[in-house]
Each structure stands twice: as C-alpha cells, then as structure tokens.
Structure 1
Amino acid sequence: MIDQQAAKSFCRLATLTVCAVYFLILVGGIVRASGAGMGCPDWPTCFGQWVPPTEEAQLPADYHERFALGYENTQFNPIKTWTEYLNRLTGVSIGILIFLTAIRSRIYLQGDKAVFYLSLTVFGLVGFQGWLGSTVVASNLKPVIITLHMLLALFIVALLIYILARSQKSHWGYFDISVLPDKFNKVLVAAMLMTLLQVAMGTQVREAVDMIANEHAYIGRQYWRDDFPIIFYVHRSFASIILFTNGWLFWKIFQGFGRTTLIFKVGLLIMGLIVAAILAGISLDRLGVPPIAQPIHLLMANLIFGTQFFLYIYLKYSKQSTQNRV
C-alpha cells in the first residue's frame, strides 16, 4: 500500500517538474527567437568560464579566433550571452528536479513499478538531452539538431505527464464517461496527431525563419514575411482544422459534464491554449514577426499536445475504473 502523504508529495514534485520543463521550452524559444543560441559558443562552459563575462574587457584579446561563434559578426553581446547562459541554468535545474522525481518515485515500487522505471527513463533521457544540447552548439545551430532537441523535450514532458497521471489514478473521482460519444477517443487521438503534425510543420517554418533572420541580420522584421515558404501558409490554414476538431471535443464535454469537473476544465484549457496559439501566429504573420510571439507560439503548441495527452490518459484510467465497477 502506497503512503497517501508520500503520493501527494510526489504529485506536487512531478507537477512542478512538468511546469519547469514547459518553462524551459519557453526560455529555449526566447533564445532561438532572439538569435542568442550561440551567445555561449562553447559547452558546458561559456567563453571558457563557468560564470560568463558581462563585458568584452573580461575576454582574451583573441576570443574572436578562439571561440568561433559562427556568425559574421562575432562581437561579444552580453545580453545574448546571458540569455543562453540562463537557458542552460534552467536546464540544469530541471535535471535536478527530474532526479528528485526519480528518487521520490521509489514509493511506487510496492504498488506500481512502472512509475519508478519510467521516472528513471526520463532521467536518462534528460542526460541525453543535455548531450544533444552540446551537439547543438558544436553543430553551430544546425536546424535539424535544434528540431530534434525540441521534439525530445516534447517526448520527455509527455512521459512526465503520463507518470503524473498514472501515479494519481487511484485518487481521481469516478465519473460516467458513457455520456461521451463512442468515437470521442478516436477523434481525440486524431486531434493529438494533428497537433504533432502542426508542430512538425511549425519546426520547418521556424527553420525557414531562422535562415531569413540570419539573411536580414535579425533586423527589418517587417520584411521577413515576404520570404516565408509555402509550408507557412499550409501551417496557417491547418490551424482552422485543429480549432474545429478540438471545438467538437469540447462541445461534447460541455454537453455531458458540469463546469466544476476536471474534464470540463481540461477541455476549456485546451480551447484557450489553441486560441492563444492562433493569436500568437496571427501576430507573427501580421505584426512583423515580433520576437516575443515566437516563443509564446511554440509554448502554446507544446502545451496543447500535453493537455490533450493528459485528457487521453485521464479518460483511459476513468474507463478502466468504470469497468472495474461493473
């Protein structure tokens, strides 16, 4: 029997860890949108130091040659350097949180061993993610490596959500899922696949925007839109399909459940995130690609998938609970 107090403590820690990973995704988006990815040209140190410099005078005279920044303008920029450095500190902090999550998950060895072993798996994946981060720097921000880095973060957070949901399934109250249409789960799975496809297209758009930004030396953002590739317009149009699909899901939840139920709140959150993502996308399209809109758009996309995935797991365990009561 799992100690209830220990289970609640694990839930709080796991929830904090999930939120921290999403915060790291936001910070990573800020790094990329601001062009600060090579603010620290080496890894794990920054300009050969564990605490990066704040002014050029603190660097050796030959730092341009010693640290090949990969840009035509290799002038030291303290804002970009510290933006990237804070991104790394956030990553280290999350590594610590996931390590603590893995340690705390030992309480499930007597009740649900999968929670413990999946927690260890996540810890191992975070180590691999750290190595991949060093590869991003070593590859001079190669777009394919950056995309892999982001997709792995998406997979890690999905695993964390599954661990959190599985560890708390016995604490969820019973509710009658028979009020939902039989095809609800299939449409939900289709909605998740659509989100993943949209994220994949979004990464291609981001790679194109990175190239455009580099060509424009990260200035004149109002002219970037003229060079957007075809995939951008496909990505933009596909958002309406995602909106209507998830709108149908929420309508069915709205019809079947009270406003205070968890499933209603999760459905409402999904719709709110989709609207926020669309508004951020519109601002990128119509307001000259404002830097803050890029990381917000990325964060919303990741939150949409994570919330959809949580809803799917929640319904899965609720269905099992219903079957056990029959």
Structure 2
Amino acid sequence: MQYEQGMQKNFRKIAKISLVLVYLVIIAGAVVRMTGSGMGCPDWPKCFGHYIPPTDISELQWRSDTEIKKGQIIIVDQTLMVAAKDFRTGDMYDESNWKRYTKHDYAQFNVAHTWTEYINRLCGALAGLATLVLAVASISFYKQNKKITFFSWLVVFGMGFQAWLGATVVYSVLEPVKITVHMIMALVIVALLLYIIHITKKNVSAGPRSPLNILPLMALALFMTLVQIILGTQVRQLVDDRIDLVGEAAKNLWMSNIGWEFYLHRSFSILVVVLNLVLALRIYRHKLGFSKINWVLALIGFEVLTGIAMYYLDFPFASQPLHLVLASLLFGVQFYLVLEAISSRKRSKSL
C-alpha cells in the first residue's frame, strides 16, 4: 500500500521528466538534421556494430591479428562489411569471414557525425527508460483509473514504434517521407504524455471555466500548427537538396530556386499567426483565463523571427534546429490548451 501511494505521489513528476526527455530527443534530432549527421551510424541499434562507436577511421579498417566480434562492421573498398562470426584476423583479409551489409550502400565515416547521431540515440534510450518507469508506476492506478495505466503503456509502445521508425529512416538513407513520419510520431508521444499529466492533475476542478465554446478554435489552431510543421519538414528537405547542389559554404544560395513548397509554408504561417491572434483576443476580451495563450503568442513570435533570420540572414548558426524545436514546443502548449478547453467545457455543462 505504501509503495503504491509513493508511486502515485511521484507519478506526475516522472511524467514531466519523461516529457522533458522526449523534447530533449527532439532537440537532439534537430541538431542531427542541422549537422547532416543522420547517417553517422549506418546500422541500428548499434553503431558500426559497436555499442560505443569508433573515434577514428582506423577502427573501421581491416587489421591483421585483431579480435573481431560477430556483427562488427568495417569499410572495405567503400563497402560496409559485417563480421559473420567471432574470429581473429590472420595475415590476409579472408572474405569468407565477412558478409556485405545489405540494408543500404552508404559507407562513409565522419567522427563528428557518428558521435552526434550516437548522442541522439542515447537521448532516445534515456527517454525510453523514463517512459518505461512511468508505465510501471502507472500500475498503481489500475484499480482507480485504468485510463492512466492504459495511456502510460501506450507511450511505451509509442516509443518502441518510434525507435523502429528511426531504424527505417537509417535503412532508407534518410528518405524525406520517413523523416516526416518520425517527427509526427514524436509529437504524438508528446501529446500522450501531456494528456497523462493533465488527467493526473491533483485539483482537476481547477482551471479556466469558459462559458464560450472556444474549443473548436483551439483545435483548429492546433491542427494548423501540425500542418505547418509537416510543410516545414518538406521545405527543410528542399534546403538539404540545395545544400547538396551548391555546397554548405554557399548559404546565400540555399533559398534560391527553392520551389513553391517554401512559399506555401510562408503563406500558411500568416494564417497561423492571424488565427492565434484572433484566439488570444477572444480569450482576453471575455476573460476566459487560458493563460497559456501567452506562451503560444511568445513561441509564435520567436518562430517567426527564426524563420525571417533563416531567409534574410542566410541561416544563422542553430536557427534551423531552433525553428523546429520552437514549433514542437508550440504544438505541445496548444495541445495542452485544447485539453484545458475540453475540461472547461465539461465543467461549464455540469454547472
């Protein structure tokens, strides 16, 4: 009994820690994208067949009289070769001990890219462990509120699915559609954790009570932010293509001939700003009490500034990952506002 009470007491703290760690994974993923480190580890879940990745290209080259473990990867003639068994190398390279890596044909090593991607995976593993602890702790709620237990374990399965998506992204050599799905799944996990945090709030009757049905407007704002994030991932891919074409040093050319997707993304941002301003004015005018709308306006303001900086100032350092992280934070705050609006509507109907 005391164990269950202790778990319940700390449950929201664990949920909040899990949420912070998931956002940390999003930040790490944004840095991976900014630095072009997505293929820093060409296999999954290990990195070049190691739990701790190499720090020098010599570790990925064939060497005589060296202990090799099954699954270890080396690069031979621009090809990834995987050890078929445990063995010790002789004086000559023996092809019978190796098999070609068949998931893809990307065979490059960049120590900075490798360790950036590896740190991203460590953040993911840490977040996964935190959500597992959350799910175990949720069992104490099973008798009184099965919904808490269900959604907590759903987060764990979501993290597992997200890990699998991460593997497919690597195996596809960073296929744009799969990167987008990977990002959306991260936001789904954020939404699930926010829902758990919301329904385990101690004083569920507290919070704004709105006589107006503002929920549809909030839901529309949330949906438009999600659409904008998806459009943004497509624009980012166009920028990556331009970088491959003109080079990383020619930042002034990254947005030249960028395509209609960018202009759609920019125009859609105006709609997002206008809609959220209308929402905020309605909340302020009728004194509805949804204070997190201030966070929404602040995040949108910074989001617009980073977008302007990228276009007019030729992509200042860290502007790209910051733009993505701000968008994911905006989604989270808007989703929580929707949850508050739903609760407010229920309380108003019960009066």
Query: TM-score, normalised on structure 1?
Result: 0.89
Whether contact under 8 Å (1:122, 1:156) holds in the other structure is yes
Q: Distance in 2 between matches of 1:66 and 1:194?
A: 43
Q: Quickly say closer, same or farther: Cα 1:174–1:276, change in 2 above 3 A.
A: closer
Are positions 1:188 and 2:214 aligned together?
Answer: no
Q: Which residue of 2 aligns with 1:311?
A: 337
SS of corresponding position for 1:164: helix
1:58 CA displacement: 2.3
1:259-290 Cα shifts (integer Å, max 9, x gaps):
xx6x31x1111111111111111111112233
CA distance in 2, matches of 1:162, 1:294: 28
* 1: CA distance, partners of 2:336 / 2:217: 15
Whole-Å separation in 2 of the counterparts to 1:89 and 1:118: 24
SS at match of 2:173: coil
Amino acid paired to 1:207: Q
Distance 1:304 1:174 in 2: 20
Q: Tell me by how many angstroms 1:238 deviates.
A: 1.6
Find the aligned partners of 1:189 and 1:169 in 2 and give their Cα distance: 25
Supply the distance in 1 between the matched residues of 2:174 and 2:231 (Cα, whole angstroms).
19
Measured in 1, the distance between the counterparts of 2:336 and 2:186 equals 16
Secondary structure, counterpart of 1:227 in structure 2: coil
Q: 2:38 aligns to what?
A: 37
Question: Are residues 1:244 and 2:258 paired?
Answer: no
Q: Deviations over 1:194-226 (max 9, x none)?
A: 111111211211221222222234332221110
Q: Indicate conservation of the 8 Å contact 2:205/2:347, yes or no.
A: no
| More helix, by proportion | 1
Taking the aligned partners of 1:75 and 1:121, their CA distance within structure 2 comes to 37
1:220 maps to 250
Change (3 A) 1:269 1:217: same
2:129 pairs with 1:96: yes
Which residue number corresponds to residue 20 of structure 1?
21
1:53 equivalenced with 2:86 (yes/no):
no
Instruction: Report how far residue 315 of structure 1 moved.
Output: 1.9
Indicate conservation of the 8 Å contact 2:309/2:315, yes or no.
Answer: yes
Q: Distance in 2 between matches of 1:177 and 1:114?
A: 26
1:202 and 2:216 are equivalent in the alignment = no
Deviating more after overlay: 162-171 vs 111-120:
162-171
Residue identity matched to 1:9? N
Query: What does 1:1-326 align with in structure 2 at a 5 Å threshold?
Result: 6-61=7-62, 63=75, 64-66=78-80, 76-168=109-201, 170-178=203-211, 181-182=212-213, 184-257=214-287, 263-264=290-291, 266-324=292-350, 326=351
Counterpart contact for 1:14–1:160, Cα < 8 Å = yes
**Partner letter of residue 174 of structure 2?**
L
Native 8 Å contact 1:174 1:321 kept in 2: no
CA 1:4–1:248 in 2, change beyond 3 Å: closer, same or farther? farther
Q: How much does 1:171 deviate?
A: 4.0
The structure, 1 or 2, with the larger RCO (C-alpha pairs under 8 Å, 6+ apart) is 1
Q: Distance in 2 between matches of 1:79 and 1:298?
A: 22
Aligned length: 316
Residue type of the alignment partner of 1:103: V
Distance 1:110 1:28 in 2: 38
> Superposition RMSD on alpha carbons, in Å?
2.3
CA distance in 1, matches of 2:286, 2:145: 32
> Is the 1:40–1:85 Cα contact (8 Å) retained in structure 2?
yes
Measured after TM superposition, the shift of residue 313 of structure 1 is: 0.5
Q: Determine the C-alpha separation between the residues in 1 that align with 2:157 and 2:20.
A: 19
Q: Percent identity?
A: 36
Quote how far apart the aligned CAs of 1:109 are. Answer: 1.3
Compute the TM-score of the two structures, normalised by the length of structure 2: 0.83
Q: Which residue of 1 aligns with 2:88?
A: none
Please report how far the alpha carbon of residue 257 of structure 1 lies from its aligned counterpart in structure 2 after TM superposition: 4.1
Instruction: State the alpha-carbon separation in 2 of the partners of residues 157 and 47 from structure 1.
Output: 30
Deviation at 1:256, TM superposition (A): 4.2
Mark the CA change 1:28 to 1:175 in structure 2 (over 3 Å): closer, same or farther. closer
Gaps of 5+ in 1: none
Q: Which amino acid aligns with 1:80?
A: H
Q: What is the distance in 2 between the residues matched to 1:70 and 1:267?
A: 48
Shift in Å at residue 82 of structure 1? Answer: 0.5
Mapped contact 1:132–1:149 kept (Cα < 8 A):
yes
